[in-house]
Amino acid sequence: MAGRYGRPRSFLRMRSLAGQVFLLQVAIVVLLVAASVAALVLQSRADSEREARNRSVAVAETFANAPGMDAALRSPDPTAVLQPRAEAARKGSGVDFIVVMNLDAVRYTHPLPDRIGKKFVGTVGPAIEGRVVTEKVDGTIGPLVQAVVPVKGANGEVLGLVSAGITIKSVSGAAEGQFPLLFGSAAGILLLTMGGTALVTRRLKRQTHGLGPTEMTQMYEHHDAVLHAVREGVLIVGGDGRLLLANDEARRLLHLPPGIEGTPVAELGLDPVTTGLLTSGRSATDEVHSVGDRVLSISQRATDRHGGPPGSVTTLRDTTELQALTGSAAMARGRLKLLYDAGTEIGTALDVVRTCEELTEFATARFADYATVDLAEGVLRGEEPTTARATTDGLRRSAFSGPRDDTGLHPLGSVVRFLETTDLGAGLLRGEAVLDTDLARRSGWQQQDPERAERIVESGFHSMMAVPMRARGVLLGAALFWRARTPEPFEDEDLSVAEELVARAAVSIDNARRYSREHNVAVTLQRSLLPQGLPDQSAIDAAYRYLPAQAGLGGLGGVGGDWFDIIPLPGARVALVVGDVVGHGLHAAATMGRLRTAVHNFSTLDLPPDELLWHLDELVARIDQDEAAEGSEGGGGVTGATCLYAIYDPASGRCTMARAGHLQPVIVSPEGDAVFADVPGGPPLGLGGMPFETLDLELPESSRLVLYTDGLVEDRHRDIDEGLEMLRETLSGHPDRTPEETCQAVLRVLVPAKARDDIALLVARTRCLASENVAEWDVPSDPSAVARVRSEVSRKLNEWNLVEEAFTTELILSELVTNSIRYANGPIGVRLIRDRTLICEVSDRSSTSPHLRQAASMDEGGRGLFLVAQLAERWGTRYTDDGGKVIWTEQLPQPEINGPA
């Protein structure tokens, strides 16, 4: 027959049913032998551990009950008496150690003498109470079993303890030596069994004629389709009115007993109408008949229409389920409505805890009396959950909803551990939901906490569902639903709904967790771009605050573009900067970092505020053009950035400010009067086309300059003018406040609990250099005046106790003044400032800046500025408003240099 289907009869190819049976039997035999070998190996290991336990107990008890132990423990030096005995007993008994100790677990004996006098490692509590303790530990010599037994005196009191231990390896050698024989026997059994299987398979091959499963299936597929594959009952009645065939569905619908074939239809016990139809042999289509408690649709056709045997074939279809389907449709609509409502009420905020609360609130409002959610600690921190045993390691209760709190359930914030030895814990660990319809039966769930379980049952809880919370194949936590007031227990349909709810909530929680992680990364990036502290300078006493927007309220979770800076400048001056990039998110934070870096770079050129903002405006315009040309995603450029730049000079007390679309700063006088500085307005950065103007004013010492961003005064509940007035009133009338106290007062009054925008606040209290720390001279444009200036400078340095700096300073000033006399016209000024560094300044009316160059060996000039650069710590040039310039140098501070008065 195999040849009829064109297939070879090769037994080795295993395409026949017999060959496949052979492979299956061989696999079963191999698995059985392997299981037997594994069981014997495990039994051997268990026997080894049991032998180690018995030997350690026997040795410990023998030594503890040895004569003289009482006297030895009471002797002045138990170690001297017991150490030789213990070592001799250890070597004779074959154990790894015998340790005698006092009731404080301090060793008297040990194989290693340096361990004597130290604490014994192991459990000794029960032994002190008079019981024997055995335990398996991982010691430095490997896995071992140790026993601790008490040493009792004549009156039964415990005088000391004896511990003996032996490694499992020491007693497992005999069993392991039998492994070759065991494995050899297993191999022989395997070969013998495979031979017998091959003989049985060969006979099966002859009986099946080499047919494969496909061919044998094809022989019976039509028969199986009629009898079992269809969901309709099938009856075949012969021409003599006897039942020839009834499939399983027909037996179920008509309640026919087994072995009914051959019985006359009239004797089947059916109603007369149905019996008459079956015996008539007439054709029928979807005739409705009531049979018992069922409503059947019956169709019938004759079997002899196409040359078949006389009789009829009848099909039966149960239509009773139509009513049930109608009810199921209504239930399905209700379930879809519930899931739709859940989609709108759960996961409304990118917050892990809030999403858990929404799930519990929704569940208690719809189908549960109480609901709780427990999450892994890593999920609450926004981390990627990695452990697969989160339920047993401990979950943090993150949400609770129910009419009462005193129910026995774990409170919010507590750690819940689900024991894997219970059905509840094992099910959650496998990722399967658990339904308990009768908590009072105490089917094992109470093992988590028996006392708490008793309180739960006493509070009326009678039914519970536990659903693991999984997302992307990772276990995030578990949700538990309870019924106490509702008398009906949970059903399978409720469990199905709970699983879908938890699955949807798990996706929202995972999204919130990932958002939290990304938000933390973005906030870390933003904070790394902001100043990490105040620089060392003497011009101002400053304090600052930076508050990110509340996550979920201000755009993308608190990451914005506000920044501030305090930049020391030459001449003991300082630059104060506050800026704001409109928008939120990483793009705003990155843009803020670029602008802050640009301001730092431009400030090194010592540009006036209006010119610096002009360069910054040009830079922003170019950035916008580049991003527009590249079509960068999430772009929109940086148009909308604002900036306020101020320079304060403590030597003159003058402050110069310019702003680009930013809010006016507040100036608080030493008497406590607060006013807004009238800094000329300029367009935001990047718009271009208009120059920036400056405000130049003199600030008395101890004035406070307050710079801020719009997030401080803007709020959806108040107008910006109202916020500005609140700021002015908060700053007024408190002349004695420090900058730090000013920051605290402003934030306390103006900042809401959840800020919707970033806030940057910078408060600077001005200082002035004392007149005795500043020296100035006017120098005629005459080379002979250089010597006089050097003499005056040397005298001033002697007054300041800077004698060691005199020679270097004279060289620097001599070179700078000589260059001004040679190349500039008009008066020349020299100024010395004693601050954290010694600052030398030479001013003239020339706008030509000197440049450092490398003079050739034959050049007569070009070495002066190189010498200045070598002697000074820093040097540079800045331009003045009258078209001149100032060349300045700074020398490293010496111990004698004092700060400004």
State the Cα–Cα distance between residues 388 and 393, nearest whole angstrom: 9
H-run or E-run covering 899: none
The 10s digit of each residue's pLDDT in 194-251 is 777 677 667 666 666 565 566 656 655 666 665 666 778 888 888 888 888 888 888 8
pLDDT for 869 beyond 70: yes
pTM of this structure:
0.52
Q: What is the pLDDT of residue 386?
A: 66
Q: Which conformational region is residue 286 in: left (phi greater than 0), alpha (psi within -120 to 50 degrees), or beta? A: left
pLDDT (average), residues 580-604: 84
Q: Sheet containing 642-649: which strands, arranged edge to edge?
A: 560-568, 574-584, 642-649, 654-660, 695-698
Of 63-72, 79-88, 335-344, minimum mean pLDDT range: 335-344
d(CA 287, CA 264): 22
Contacts of 378 (CB under 8 A, 6+ apart): 384, 385, 386, 387
Of 726, 724, 721, 715, the residue nearest 749 (C-alpha): 726
- Give the pLDDT band (50/70/90) at residue 859: very low
Q: Which two tokens stand for residue 489?
A: 């227990």
pLDDT at 852: 62
Task: Show Cβ contacts of residue 604 under 8 Å, excluding neighbours closer than 6 positions.
Answer: none
Q: Which of 560, 551, 627 is nearest to 588 (CA)?
A: 560
- Span 332-355, mean pLDDT? 81
- In 3D, which of 280, 238, 272, 235 has the Cα closest to residue 253? 235
**Quick one: 232 exposed, middle or buried, by C-beta within 10 A (0-12, 13-18, 19+)?**
middle
Average pLDDT over residues 832-836: 86
The token duo for 886 is 């100032």
Backbone angles phi, psi at 570, to 5 degrees: -60, 155
Residue 622 neighbours by CB under 8 Å, 6+ apart: none
- The pLDDT value given to residue 694: 93
- 16 Cβ contact list (under 8 Å, min separation 6): 2, 9, 205, 208, 210, 211, 212
Per-residue model confidence (pLDDT) at position 897 = 45
Q: How far is CA 579 from CA 38, 601, 618, 645, in A?
A: 73, 16, 16, 9
Q: Tell me how far apart the alpha carbons of residues 83 and 73 are, in angstroms, rounded to a whole number.
A: 12
Highest mean pLDDT among 17-21, 136-140, 501-505, 852-856: 501-505
Phi (first) and psi of residue 58, to 5 degrees: -65, -45
Alpha-carbon distance values, 116 to 110, 342, 413 (Å): 6, 68, 46
**What is the model's pLDDT at position 215?**
63
pLDDT at 875 over 90: no
Predicted pLDDT at 422:
81
What's the rounded Cα separation, in Å, for the pair 306 and 313? 13
Q: Which two tokens stand for residue 555?
A: 């755009």
Residue 901 burial by Cβ neighbours in a 10 Å radius (0-12, 13-18, 19+): exposed
**Band of pLDDT at residue 856, cut at 50, 70 and 90:** very low
- The strand pairing partners of 899, in sequence order, are none
How far apart CA 316 and CA 815 sit, in angstroms, is 118
- pLDDT at 643 exceeding the cut of 90: yes
* Higher-confidence position of 538 and 560: 538
How many helical (H) and strand (E) elements, i.e. helices and strands, does the chain have? 24, 30
Q: Which pLDDT tens digit goes with each residue over 500-513?
A: 999 889 898 888 88
Nearest of 151, 140, 146 to residue 163 by alpha carbon: 146
Mean pLDDT confidence for 44-72 = 82
Please give the average per-residue pLDDT across 869-888, as a whole number.
Answer: 81
In angstroms, the Cα distances linking 351 to 510, 515, 557 are: 10, 8, 10
Helices within 631-774 (DSSP H only)? 720-731, 739-750
Least confident of 28-37, 340-349, 506-515, 763-772: 28-37
pLDDT confidence of residue 4: 40
**2 pLDDT exceeds 50?**
no
Residue 285 has pLDDT above 70, yes or no: yes
> Cα dihedral angle (817, 818, 821, 823), rounded to 10 degrees?
-110
Q: What are the distances in angstroms from CA 867 to CA 159, 551, 815, 816?
A: 88, 56, 9, 11
Residue 555's region, left for phi above 0, alpha for psi from -120 to 50, else beta, is left
Q: What is the distance between the alpha carbons of residues 414 and 408, in angstroms, rounded to a whole number? A: 13
What is the Cα–Cα distance from 717 to 712, expressed in whole angstroms?
A: 13
Does position 260 have pLDDT exceeding 90, yes or no?
A: no
Query: Between 16 and 112, whose confidence is greater?
Result: 112
Helix orientation angle between 720-731 and 739-750, rounded to the nearest 10 degrees: 140
Strand-strand pairing, 133-139 and 243-246: unpaired
Task: Give the helix/strand (H/E) hosting 458.
Answer: helix 450-458
pLDDT recorded at residue 704: 94
Average pLDDT estimate for 606-631 = 83
Average pLDDT over residues 157-180: 75
Q: What 3-state DSSP class applies to 887?
A: strand
- 99 and 110 Cβ atoms separated by less than 8 Å: yes
Q: How confident is the model at residue 10 (pLDDT cuts 50, 70, 90)?
A: very low
Lowest mean pLDDT among 39-43, 308-312, 385-389: 385-389
Residue 755 to residue 547: CA distance in whole angstroms: 8
Listed residue (95, 68, 65) closest to 82, CA to CA: 68
In whole numbers, what is the pLDDT of the chain averaged over residues? 81
Position 717 scores a pLDDT of: 77
pLDDT of residue 293: 74
What mean pLDDT is predicted for residues 64-72? 83
What tokens does 696 get? Answer: 């130049």
Q: Please state, for a pLDDT cut of 90, what percent of the chain lies above it.
A: 15
Mean pLDDT value across residues 472-493: 88
- The distance from CA 749 to its chain's CA centroid, rounded to whole angstroms, is 35
pLDDT(297) > 90: no
Contact (Cβ atoms closer than 8 angstroms) between residue 260 and residue 281: no
Helix (H, G, I), strand (E, B) or coil at 711: helix
pLDDT of residue 554: 41
Residues in the chain: 901
CA distances to 457, 482, 488, 647 from 438, rounded to whole Å, are: 10, 11, 10, 77
**716 by DSSP, 3-state: which?**
coil
Q: What is the mean pLDDT of residues 393-417?
A: 86
User: In degrees rounded to 5, what are phi and psi of residue 160?
Assistant: -170, -170
Highest-scoring range by mean pLDDT, 364-373, 410-419, 637-646:
364-373
Q: Which residues of 259-285 are buried (b: 16+ CB within 10 A; e: fewer)?
A: eeeeeebeebebeeebbebbeebeebe
**What are the tens digits of pLDDT across the range 550-590?**
654 444 455 778 889 999 998 888 999 999 988 777 777 88
More confident: 887 or 43: 887
Residue pointed to by tokens 């807004």: 676
Distance, in Å, from the CA atom of 757 to the CA atom of 715, rounded to the nearest integer, reads: 9
The one-letter amino acid at 142:
G
Contacts of residue 404, Cβ cutoff 8 Å, sequence gap at least 6: 459
pLDDT at 579: 92
Helices (H), 255-375: 272-280, 321-345, 352-366
Copy the structure tokens of residue 223.
């028969």
Non-local (6+) Cβ contacts of 848 within 8 A are 823, 824, 885
CA 98 to chain centre: 49
Minimum mean pLDDT among 539-543, 627-631, 777-781: which range? 627-631
- Asked if 165 contacts 87 with a C-beta cutoff of 8 angstroms, the reply is no
Q: Is the pLDDT of residue 893 over 70?
A: no
Average pLDDT over residues 829-851: 82
Coil, helix or strand at residue 672: coil
